[in-house]
Chains A and B, each alone.
Chain A
Amino acid sequence: MVECGERVWDGAFVIDHNALIGPYPFRRLPEPTPERLLADLDRLGVAGAWVGHVPSIFYRDVAAGNDELFAALEPHRARLLPVPAVHPAFPGWEREVARARAAECPAVRTYPAHYGFDAAGPAMRELCAACAEAGLELVLTVRLEDARQRHPLDVAPELGGAAIRAAVRGDPAVRLLVAAADRGIVEEVHFGSTPDEAARIRWDVSWIWGPPEDHLSTLFRTVGRDRFVLGTHFPFRLPEATLTKLELS
């Protein structure tokens, strides 16, 4: 359980579902390491995390990035679960899905804009089907940084609602976890999906505003609290920010 103010959060709010490790090419991220992540989780009373790998977003051959991720998390597997990346338009991607399943990972991540494949195209549909078959949740990331601060060379577009809707329709059993979405994206996708589709999408809360605008409270009411999970977006964002919005929402 996570204690936030007077409330106690459990279930999907015990685990950070949107953490990463590793350096970022466009600005310095302080200590993007498993050790620092664990220290922050301890400080905030969070039990563990699903952990992706920042360099794998930029490598052409993401299998090499997954090697680095698995090695970095090996000493910490009790609390930090690897979420490897998959590039479904690159040779050997099925092996990465199989490796994730064999390693008992909860999910895999993919980044269509960074990898250069169509988020609504056949490669994404094949990945959705493979994830469904393997029992892996598929993590999609709307953004890594605020669009207003991005480096001139950082031109990959943000993931739009249409791409998320296409992904959830890509396979009738695929389950999505969408990271770093704001209220507008959540509403667009949730109310632009059938109840069955919407029930297969979870959202992390890292990019949703708290009070006084109260986007998170509103979404808890309109979309359902069970659709949301804890996510800090470490090492990009202060992990405190996710906890304070839960505390005040």
Chain B
Amino acid sequence: MTAGPLIDVHAHFLHDRCGRADWAQRNARRLEVGERIGVTLHIASILGSWGHTSPTYFPSVEDLAYGNAALRALQREHPSRIRGYVAVNPNFTVDAVAEIERGLAEGMVGIKLAASRRASDRLLDPIARIAAERGVPILQHAWQHRRHEVPNQEISDALDLVALAGRHPGARFILAHIGGGGDWAHSLRALRDVPNVWVDLSGSGVDRGMLELCVECVRVERLLWGTDLTMDAGLAKLRALEAMGLGAAWLERVRWWNAESVFGTGHS
């Protein structure tokens, strides 16, 4: 396996108000397993209270503020290993803008949009404008091919994100977890000619054929490595890319170089 930097662009942490007794253990486990597989930077988000006091995908302003603050605390505790996305709910636009400004001022490096509002909705425009002005990417939670509504989410797919990206060509977007559920081929075909949308490889889905189509449709230049909730699946995808015959220079791009070009964290 290729050594060197490895940036996980889709990590999550928990906190003491998420309703899980094992929250600290899970956080420690992510860092421990990250050490074992060579993760040098976790770029993470916390979606409010993870459903404990407001819905995971429709988090309240207060829960988002607490979660983002908890992530900044982790960032301070592990300054070389953790960076954070500011998670916001675009339905509370004024609060979202303020939360983004606060987060970026305190060292967060991206914006996380869950499934609180369809990505194509004009309500997201102020957030996309900030992302473009401040040079930070937006990680958009996605369902690969939205064929119906999904309970407890206002879910978006690649076509919704393409609409937003088209209105904001100066902003950078990341389609979340191509292996996170749904028809990944639909997303990849949709993103072929959309230069300001990157694809993160995270998710528990490890379908054979998916990585090949990623390379074919969005090219190695727009692939970002990530894990989401299954670090074992992330490691498997790295090994599968190597087994596909992706050369060392291309692997470097997926492992960290592309992420560094999107986030500009100075990590190398």
Q: Is B159 an interface residue (CB 8 A)?
A: no
A5 to B65, CA, bound (A): 40
Q: Are B26 and A212 in contact (CB under 8 A)?
A: yes
Contact of B230 among A27, A146, A152, A209 (CB under 8 A): A209
Q: Is B69 an interface residue (CB 8 A)?
A: no
Interface of A is mostly: loop
Q: Knowing A149-B184, A212-B33, say if A244 contacts B208 (CB, 8 Å).
A: no
Residues of A within 8 A of B184 (CB): 149
Q: Is A241 an interface residue (CB 8 A)?
A: yes
CB contacts under 8 Å to B, within A126-169, are: 145-146, 148-149, 152
* Residues 119-143 of chain B, each 1 if its beta carbon lies under 8 Å from chain A, else 0: 0000000000000000000000001
CB distance from A240 to the nearest CB of B (A): 4
Contact of B232 among A27, A29, A209 (CB under 8 A): A209
Q: Knowing A148-B181, A248-B231, say if A241 contacts B26 (CB, 8 Å).
A: no
CB distance from B199 to the nearest CB of A (A): 16
Q: Are B240 and A238 in contact (CB under 8 A)?
A: yes
CB distance from A66 to the nearest CB of B (A): 24
Q: Are B235 and A238 in contact (CB under 8 A)?
A: no
Q: Are A235 and B208 in contact (CB under 8 A)?
A: yes
Q: Are B231 and A146 in contact (CB under 8 A)?
A: no
Residues of B within 8 A of A27 (CB): 185, 209
* Residues 154-184 of chain B, each 1 if its beta carbon lies under 8 Å from chain A, else 0: 0000000000000000000000000001111
A5 to B232, CA, bound (A): 12
A245 to B207, CA, bound (A): 15
Residues of B within 8 A of A43 (CB): 243
Q: Is B30 an interface residue (CB 8 A)?
A: yes
How many chain-A residues does the 8 Å CB contact rule pick out? 30
Q: Is A195 an interface residue (CB 8 A)?
A: no
Q: Is B236 an interface residue (CB 8 A)?
A: yes
Q: Are A29 and B208 in contact (CB under 8 A)?
A: yes
A132 to B205, CA, bound (A): 35
Q: Are B208 and A234 in contact (CB under 8 A)?
A: yes
- Extra inter-chain contacts (19) besides given A210-B231, A238-B208, CB under 8 Å: A27-B185, A29-B208, A29-B209, A30-B212, A145-B207, A211-B29, A211-B30, A211-B232, A212-B29, A212-B229, A213-B26, A236-B207, A238-B207, A240-B235, A240-B239, A240-B243, A241-B233, A244-B232, A248-B37
Q: Give A contacts to B, CB under 8 Å.
A: 5, 27-30, 43, 145-146, 148-149, 152, 209-214, 234-238, 240-241, 243-245, 247-249
